[in-house]
Amino acid sequence: MKAIELRSKSVEELKSELIALLKEQFSMRIQKGIGQAPLSHLFRKVRKQIARVKTILREKEGSSL
């Protein structure tokens, strides 16, 4: 998801998106641990998406103060 699409979402939607991404990252980590590693490029993709969502959340929370 691009940053432009994320900026149009509300804070609650961003928080739910962040939780979903963290769950996905956790399940990928568990799969890697038991030997069913998904494609390695997906780890980096999920990490970048998490960072993008956290950045936009911080922007929105900072502007509301």
Q: What class does CATH assign to 3-63?
A: mainly alpha
Taking CB atoms within 8 Å and a gap of at least 24, the contacts of 50-54 are 50/18, 50/21, 50/22, 50/25, 52/1, 52/3, 52/6, 53/6, 53/14, 53/17, 53/18, 53/21, 54/18
64 band by pLDDT with thresholds 50, 70 and 90: low
Q: What is the pTM of this model?
A: 0.85
Could you report the per-residue pLDDT of 8-57, keeping only the tens digit for each? 999 999 999 999 999 999 999 999 888 887 788 899 999 999 999 999 99
What pLDDT is attached to residue 56?
A: 95
Q: What are the residue boundaries of the structural domains of the chain, listed by start?
A: 3-63
